[in-house]
Structure 1
Amino acid sequence: MPEVKVSNLSKQFGSNSVLRDVTFTIAEGEFFTLLGPSGCGKSTTLACIAGLERPTGGSITIGESTFADEGRFVPPEGRNLGMVFQSYALWPHMTVAQNLAMPLKIRKIDKRRQGPLIHDALDKVGLAELKERYPHQLSGGQQQRVALARALVYSPSVLLLDEPLSNLDAQLREQARAWLKRLQEELGITTVYVTHDQVEALALSDRIAVMSRGEMVQIGTPKEIYATPATAEVAAFVGRSNFLEGRMASDAEVLLDCNGQTLRVQPGGVAVGQRVSVAIRPERLEILPPGRTAPADVNVLEADVLTSSYIGSRYEYDLRLGDQAVQVESSRPGLNGRVTLVVEPDACLLYPTVGVLSPDAEALITVTG
């Protein structure tokens, strides 16, 4: 399967610039995800790769073929790319087999070959026995698989998926996610996936490109994106993060606004006196059991339990940390009164901030104990 190269891609709709200098390379057989909130440009990037949108600038190359460059634009039918849309886009008046036959007819595939190709594609997604059914006779998950089979039936060089699981309910979505990952690995097909669901991105991807306002913010493996987010924006969007505002008291200490306590951190090249946000992943914060002394090399934060809720697999507690609201997740029931939170310095990620928060501003922090 070919490599995908996108270089300095830009796209404008009138005076609105929706993509700015987007650059990335996808290795052969890689599952690469474009992740970001609505309006960040991820679907437009995918549409440019598919040929559904013509870039304003930049280039797109797949394998040895350049599909978009200055003065050159290859339409979708000349790209041999498979695409699955969010809506599945199945023809309601056609059977499953007829839906899969349509792209083969467009490509003028010999009729004698169409039957075996359709059967093989449906067999890959586990629906060979449903080829004579119509879309309305299928469940949402089955329709999603038919759309994927239709994208695979003509052996595309690259598979493009635009939020294909977003119409499924939570349980079916989780099952489809695991199934899709297995299928992609079995086929070894280069895949570009678009989603706003960070759990989906972390679970499926070999690498993730986080986008914001038409630009690439960070590209890395799921572990790199989660453990070392490049910006506070990435830390907030990918997974849950906990933010404490303050000012650098030294190169390895932050004076917190919420309680006036000094928080030890790893030196991050931030100037003394600079305002910062300290981001801490939920699982890196711990509730210290009663009677246990905190190690000398960790930060200790005292907080008061305000409310508690049982939500099945865990307990949620609302705490007060100085003048800041704190939400805590824990497996321990019955917490009340004053509790102790501990956090290691290397769990505190530093991000310089501009300006000063309002004195009554509250930031929500989620911890696991």
Structure 2
Amino acid sequence: MPDVKVSNLNKIFGDNVVLDNVDFTIKDGEFFTLLGPSGCGKSTTLNCIAGLEQPSSGAISVGDTTFVDTDKKLFVPPEGRNLGMVFQSYALWPHKTIADNLAMPLQIRKVDKTEQRRLIDEALDKVGLLHLRERYPHQMSGGQQQRVALARALVYSPSVLLLDEPLSNLDAKLREQARAWLKRLQEDLGITTVYVTHDQDEALALSDRIAVMSNGYMIQVGTPTEIYETPATAEVAAFVGRCNFLEATVTDVTSTGAALKLEANGQQMTVDTPEKVTVGDHVTVAVRPEKLAVLPADDTAMPGTNVISAEVLTTSYLGSRFEYDLKVGDHVVQVVNDRGGLAGAVNLTVDPDACLIFPQADVLSEDAQALLTVAP
């Protein structure tokens, strides 16, 4: 399967810049996800690759074939690209059987009927629905319809598979099962795949690499581990998974990072970081909820950890874990812990190397701003 290369892609609707110099390469056989909130430009990027949108400027190629080059006034229409696409709505013909739905793209390509049947049966077998070839869409569950839409996209052996939030119509349990099945299928086929979603769990579970988008920009591209553990900005940290944010001032620079004074309650903490900071800098400290531990106020913390005074606001039991909302000064901090029954005054502990710091000038997303809300 070929690489996909997108170069300096721009898309403007009137005065609205939807894509701003988007640039990336998807490797052969890679599962590459475009992740971001609604309106960030991820679906527009996918539609430009598919040929459903014409870029204002830029170039797109798959392998040695160029589909778009605005400098050369080159634009290959969707039917000339041999790309498979699954839409959010599945877009199945309700009056046609499953086999007839799969036959449509083959008929357009003038494949003879004997070959059509072979290809249809082969595609349905890949998604485990060969025994349902004569059913109609309304006779199938949402998960089965999603598999039919995927089989239709695969039936003519596309060079690249494009998926636009294909699991969003499924309930939570079925979505979890579907993404595991989709990942196995993609690995078995080895097909280069571009996936669009706003669901962080989907992106982390499915992807070889993720591109996080915001306001038409790509703000970070990396593996799921890189995106989650070392986000490039506070906005990435806020959008991918949950994260606590506390404002602080640098009081000292150490050999491994910095000493900070928290603005929420005036307490001191240390952070190990490669970021260059100077005394007096205002920074935002980011900590994932699972990196924090909660101890009764009279318990002794491990040497070398930061200890922050807090007060339990709420406790939620979620079966495999407890989730706490804690008051630190005038801020709310979320913690995931396996220890229940904590109430009143407690201590938060966190290792210096479990914290990230960002310049306070970083523009935070709404998700991040919500976590900076003043506590009741």
Q: Same fold (TM over 0.5)?
A: yes
Pair 1:304 & 2:311 matched = yes
1:248, 1:317 → 2: CA distance?
A: 28
Pair 1:271 & 2:273 matched = no
* Alpha carbons 1:242, 1:364 under 8 Å: kept: no
* Alpha carbons 2:11, 2:56 under 8 Å: kept: yes
Matching residue's letter, 1:99: N
Displacement, 1:315?
2.7
Measured at CA, do residues 326 and 189 of structure 1 come closer, stay the same or move farther in structure 2, by a change above 3 Å? same
1:98, 1:38 → 2: CA distance?
A: 34
Structure 2 residue aligned with 1:179, among 162, 169, 181? 181
- Corresponding residue for 2:268? 262
The equivalences for 1:75-114 within 5 A come to: 75-114=77-116
* Alpha carbons 1:8, 1:57 under 8 Å: kept: yes
Structure 2 residue aligned with 1:363, among 348, 352, 372? 372
Structure 2 residue aligned with 1:338, among 345, 349, 356? 345
The equivalences for 1:200-279 within 5 A come to: 200-251=202-253, 252-267=258-273, 268-279=275-286
Displacement, 1:289?
6.2
Matching residue's letter, 2:322: Y
* Alpha carbons 2:31, 2:206 under 8 Å: kept: yes
Displacement, 1:307?
3.4
2:35, 2:214 → 1: CA distance?
A: 9
Displacement, 1:290?
7.3
- Counting matched residue pairs gives 361
Displacement, 1:330?
2.4
Matching residue's letter, 2:372: A
2:181, 2:341 → 1: CA distance?
A: 39
Unaligned runs of 5+ in 2: 363-369
Matching residue's letter, 1:175: Q
Displacement, 1:292?
5.0
* Alpha carbons 1:243, 1:364 under 8 Å: kept: no
Q: Secondary structure at the match of 1:265?
A: strand
2:86, 2:130 → 1: CA distance?
A: 19
What TM-score does the superposition give when structure 1 sets the normalisation length?
0.94
Give CA deviations for 1:37-63 in whole Å, capped at 9, x if unaligned. Answer: 000000000000000011111100100
Give CA deviations for 1:2-37 in whole Å, capped at 9, x if unaligned. Answer: 000001000111221100100000010000000000
Give CA deviations for 1:88-136 in whole Å, capped at 9, x if unaligned. Answer: 0001111100000000000111222000000000000000011111111
2:101, 2:313 → 1: CA distance?
A: 57
* Alpha carbons 1:305, 1:320 under 8 Å: kept: yes
2:313, 2:136 → 1: CA distance?
A: 55
Pair 1:318 & 2:330 matched = no
Q: Secondary structure at the match of 1:211?
A: strand
* Alpha carbons 1:41, 1:212 under 8 Å: kept: yes
Pair 1:170 & 2:172 matched = yes
- What is the identity percentage for the equivalent residue pairs of Structure 1 and Structure 2? 70
Q: Secondary structure at the match of 2:340?
A: coil
1:307, 1:65 → 2: CA distance?
A: 57
Measured at CA, do residues 141 and 324 of structure 1 come closer, stay the same or move farther in structure 2, by a change above 3 Å? same
- Corresponding residue for 1:15? 15
Measured at CA, do residues 131 and 327 of structure 1 come closer, stay the same or move farther in structure 2, by a change above 3 Å? same
* Alpha carbons 2:292, 2:335 under 8 Å: kept: no
1:83, 1:362 → 2: CA distance?
A: 37
Structure 2 residue aligned with 1:120, among 105, 115, 122? 122
The equivalences for 1:287-298 within 5 A come to: 287-288=294-295, 292-298=299-305
2:333, 2:192 → 1: CA distance?
A: 43
Matching residue's letter, 2:264: C
1:316, 1:364 → 2: CA distance?
A: 18
CA RMSD of aligned residues (A): 1.8
Unaligned runs of 5+ in 1: 356-360
Matching residue's letter, 1:281: R
- Corresponding residue for 1:358? none
* Alpha carbons 2:47, 2:53 under 8 Å: kept: yes
Structure 1 residue aligned with 2:156, among 154, 177, 182? 154
Give CA deviations for 1:312-349 in whole Å, capped at 9, x if unaligned. Answer: 33333332222222333322222123222111111111
* Alpha carbons 1:226, 1:235 under 8 Å: kept: yes
